[in-house]
Amino acid sequence: MISWIKKHFEKRRQVGDRCKADAEKLASADPVNSYYNAQRAAIRCRCAGQVDEFMHWSKVAAEVARIEPRAEMDFAKVQAINDREEARQRQSEMWRQRK
């Protein structure tokens, strides 16, 4: 039982480390738009049905919001990103159906 608990906490630590590393990469590459980039990645994963990756990128967006004071976080822009990504997904599905 104790080994299972240790493994669980180690896995949680690895997940957290991965989120922090990705957030730091995004924030250093583009501090102002890093939050939107993480949200965009999360939305793409959600549209593709990749639940684990969606959760990861959602956590990355939260971490970016925590560590980067210059990051813009406008809900209207996030909604617009969501709408564009969903439209892009629908369009790619239509192309796949035509082939």
Write the pLDDT tens digit of every residue in 43-84: 999 988 999 999 999 999 999 999 999 999 999 999 999 999
Distance CA 78, CA 86 (A): 12
Please say if the pLDDT value at position 21 is more than 70.
yes
Report d(CA 45, CA 73) in Å as an integer.
Answer: 20
* Cα–Cα distance measured from residue 64 to residue 6, given in angstroms and rounded to the nearest whole number: 28
Look at residue 31 in the predicted model and tell me its pLDDT.
95
Q: Please, which pLDDT band fits residue 99 given cuts at 50, 70 and 90?
A: low
pLDDT of residue 79: 95
- pTM of the entire predicted model: 0.84
